[in-house]
Amino acid sequence: MSKELTQITNKFEGEKETQRQLLYIEKAKEYVIGLQKELGHKPTCCVTTFGCQMNARDSEKLAGILELAGYELVEEEDADFVIYNTCTVRDNANQRVYGRLGHLNSLKKKNPHKKIALCGCMMQEPSVIEKIKKSYRFVDLIFGTHNIYKFAELLVAMFEADGMVIDIWEGTDQIVEDLPVERKYPFKSGINIMFGCNNFCSYCIVPYVRGRERSRSPKDIIREIEALVADGVVEIMLLGQNVNSYGKNLEEPMTFAELLMEIEKIEGLERIRFMTSHPKDLSDELILVMKNSKKICRHLHLPLQSGSTRILKEMNRRYTKEQYLALAEKIRREIPDIAITTDIIVGFPGETPEDVDETIDVINKVKYDNAFTFIYSKRTGTPAAAMENQVPEEVVKEGFDRVLKVVQETARERVSLMEGMTLDALVEELNEQDPTLVTARLSNNTIVHFKGDASLIGKIVPVYLKECHGFYYLGEMLTEG
Ligand code: SAH
Ligand code: SF4
Ligand code: F3S
């Protein structure tokens, strides 16, 4: 079979799969109606997300199917169906899930109709499945990251089964399009442009639980964005573990910068974000496209992980301290109003206080607008977990505190540069603490709170940045006239 023909066949298979799943939604609906009669109310469901934006997007897909199947989406975990979409990037993510499962069990004892499901990255680890089978027998359904598109089918299997239903795949090359999605925000949305990761940074479990890198076709991506825009979306976030390597495995290869140029043309779309960029693959072409774009936001998340070339090598990041600094400098030179944010790991095996000094040196030079600092977490099965020179806890803590202090100081310095400016902000929600305020996001991702009401949500408005409070602003909306 020729290559082209194979792709057409795969696409057809994908569409057939979508049809199959839509039929399963119909079938699930019958069970939900039955449940409604027994319960005397519309069955409720709660989707709880752990982890990154990818998981958040996956949860919207789960919610879309649950809603079509007849459930009412709620935020509370005393719902009739609770699903945890889990993360395993660091051990504390896993511990949170185990901790909360105990509570779910006590709720289930009060509501015998309650069903509990677990899915997501943590479920791709065999040791986790063993533990749940042994110690958490009350869970009704478990599936992983590769077969999430089968959720409707698995729901039906759960209703029909006596005991726990478990379906975990080791990998997949399937991308199933056009399944229902229930967005959390009406005006903004994440969009998967690729799945998986091929980088195998030595500390990271993501390539093992999310599988190999696969890009969606530009046609499917653009069609999805156009539909979202027609439905009121003004801001999108393109999602991938390493968006800079988008398109390499497509039948007709395409660069990420080329994809961005196509997306820019979509009328009605106001803002484009993306995450995450691996420094080793960030091209000059991308910098140029960002510079000339009216829609791409002035924000780049560029994970550093470590400022020590020696540690970067051990991490398998494939750039040096000097290369990273040169890249950051080039980006700042070409796009002066851009905000650069980062991720940093402290306590990687063999890291010395001098290595931490190198990281601090990079922070001082780049001056991030924000940085997420993580304590290294040993992930079973990764090369770093087998390294002998794990760093003692007190040494890690000392390094972590030093890094955090510099991050806070430099971020305040960077963010305060905007004081007195008036910039456009997209209003996202009412402020949680003070409902007379709204919370909005600048193009460069900085948050600003100002007086306003719910009618502003989803609108882009000019805001005077009055007071800088570290990572965020208090401002005032400018009204016309
Ligand atoms: N693909 C993205 C990151 C995904 S994970 C990228 O390459 O940038 C998000 C962040 O979690 C990483 O940037 C890293 O800083 C952190 N992280 C990943 N594995 C970790 C581990 N084992 N311990 C501590 N932090 C980790
Ligand atoms: Fe993990 Fe590295 Fe892949 Fe990011 S690029 S997901 S840190 S392996
Ligand atoms: Fe966690 Fe999986 Fe994302 S491990 S960070 S939810 S890809």
Concatenating the DSSP letter of every residue in 66-116 gives HHHTTPEE-S-TTSSEEEEEE--SSHHHHHHHHHHHHHHHHHHHH-TT-EE
**Closest Cα to atom 5 of ligand 2:** 199
**Closest Cα to atom 18 of ligand 1:** 204
Per-residue model confidence (pLDDT) at position 177: 85
Q: Is 87 in the pocket of ligand 3 (CB under 6 A)?
A: yes
C-beta of residue 190 within 8 angstroms of C-beta of residue 56: yes
**Closest Cα to atom 1 of ligand 1:** 241
Per-residue model confidence (pLDDT) at position 431: 95
Quote the ligand 1 centre to 278 CA distance (angstroms).
11
pLDDT digits (tens, 9 = 90+) for 93-135: 999 999 999 999 999 999 999 999 999 999 999 999 999 999 9
What is the overall mean pLDDT for the chain?
95
> Which ligand is in closest contact with the Cα of 391?
1
Per-residue model confidence (pLDDT) at position 321: 98
228 or 8, higher pLDDT: 228
Mutation pick for ligand 3 pocket among 47, 58, 92, 121 (CB with most ligand atoms within 8 Å): 121
DSSP 136: -
**271 closest CA partner among 451, 454, 458:** 458
- For residue 131, report the phi and psi dihedrals to the nearest 5 degrees: -65, -40
Q: How far apart are the C-alpha atoms of 237 and 366, rounded to whole Å?
A: 24
Q: Give mean pLDDT, residues 394-400.
A: 98
Q: Is 197 in the pocket of ligand 2 (CB under 6 A)?
A: yes
Residue 13 falls in which region: left (phi positive, over 0), alpha (psi -120 to 50) or beta: alpha
State the DSSP H helix or E strand holding residue 212, giving kind and residue range, or none if neither: none
| pLDDT surpasses 90 at 3 | no
Residues in the chain: 481
C-beta of residue 305 within 8 angstroms of C-beta of residue 315: yes
**15 closest CA partner among 149, 145, 192, 157:** 149
Q: Is 374 in the pocket of ligand 1 (CB under 6 A)?
A: yes
Q: Give mean pLDDT, residues 163-192.
A: 92
Quote the ligand 2 centre to 31 CA distance (angstroms).
40
CA distances from 192 to 63, 65, 212, 313 (A): 16, 18, 15, 29
| pLDDT surpasses 50 at 1 | no
Single pTM value for the model: 0.95
Quote the ligand 3 centre to 87 CA distance (angstroms).
5
Q: Is 202 in the pocket of ligand 1 (CB under 6 A)?
A: no
Q: Is 345 in the pocket of ligand 2 (CB under 6 A)?
A: no
Q: Is 342 in the pocket of ligand 1 (CB under 6 A)?
A: no
Mutation pick for ligand 3 pocket among 47, 54, 118, 208 (CB with most ligand atoms within 8 Å): 54
> Which ligand is in closest contact with the Cα of 210?
3
| pLDDT surpasses 80 at 12 | no
Q: Is 383 in the pocket of ligand 2 (CB under 6 A)?
A: no
Q: Is 121 in the pocket of ligand 3 (CB under 6 A)?
A: yes
Q: Give mean pLDDT, residues 416-428.
A: 97
pLDDT digits (tens, 9 = 90+) for 21-31: 999 999 999 99
Shortest-distance atom of ligand 3 to CA 122: 4
Q: Is 90 in the pocket of ligand 2 (CB under 6 A)?
A: no
pLDDT digits (tens, 9 = 90+) for 73-86: 999 999 999 999 99
Quote the ligand 1 centre to 12 CA distance (angstroms).
36
> Which ligand is in closest contact with the Cα of 241?
1
Shortest-distance atom of ligand 1 to CA 343: 15
Per-residue model confidence (pLDDT) at position 9: 53
Per-residue model confidence (pLDDT) at position 11: 62
Q: Is 200 in the pocket of ligand 2 (CB under 6 A)?
A: yes
C-beta of residue 441 within 8 angstroms of C-beta of residue 425: yes
Lookup: tokens for 51: 């982890």
Q: Give mean pLDDT, residues 163-189.
A: 92
Q: Which long-range contacts (CB under 8 A, 24 or more apart) does 456-460 make?
A: 456/427, 457/187, 457/427, 457/428, 457/429, 457/430, 458/185, 458/186, 458/187, 458/232, 458/234, 458/426, 458/427, 459/426, 459/427, 460/234, 460/270, 460/271, 460/424, 460/425, 460/426, 460/427
- Strand runs labelled E in 121-234: 141-143, 165-167, 188-192, 194-195, 214-215
Per-residue model confidence (pLDDT) at position 14: 74
Quote the ligand 2 centre to 207 CA distance (angstroms).
7
Pairing of strands 437-442, 447-451: antiparallel
Kindly report the three-state secondary structure assignment for every residue of 351-397: CCHHHHHHHHHHHHHHCCCEEEEEECCCCCCCHHHHCCCCCCHHHHH
Taking the chain, what is the end-to-end CA distance rounded to the nearest angstrom? 67
Q: How far apart are the C-alpha atoms of 333 and 329, rounded to whole Å?
A: 6
Mutation pick for ligand 1 pocket among 199, 302, 317, 343 (CB with most ligand atoms within 8 Å): 343
Q: How far apart are the C-alpha atoms of 292 and 288, rounded to whole Å?
A: 6
Per-residue model confidence (pLDDT) at position 479: 84
pLDDT digits (tens, 9 = 90+) for 355-379: 999 999 999 999 999 999 999 999 9
